[in-house]
A and B are shown apart, each in its own frame.
Chain A
Amino acid sequence: MNEFEQMYREVILDHYKNPRGHGVLEGADAEAEGQNPLCGDEVSIYVAFADDGETIEEVKFFGRGCAISQAATSMLTEMVQGRTATEVASLDKDELLDEIGIPLTPVRLKCAMLGLTTLKVALHKAKGTPLPRGLAGFDELELT
Chain B
Amino acid sequence: MIELQQLCRSFQVGDQCVHALDHLDLKIARGEYLSVMGPSGSGKSTLLNMLGLLDKPSAGEYWLNQTATSQLNEEALATLRRQYIGFVFQSYHLIPRLTARENIELPLILAGIAPKQRRPLVDKVITRLALTDRASHAPNQLSGGQRQRVAIGRAIVMKPELLLADEPTGNLDSVSGREVIELLEELNDEGITLLVVTHDQAIGDRARRELKMIDGRIASDSANQTISSIGS
Are these two chains actual partners, yes or no?
no
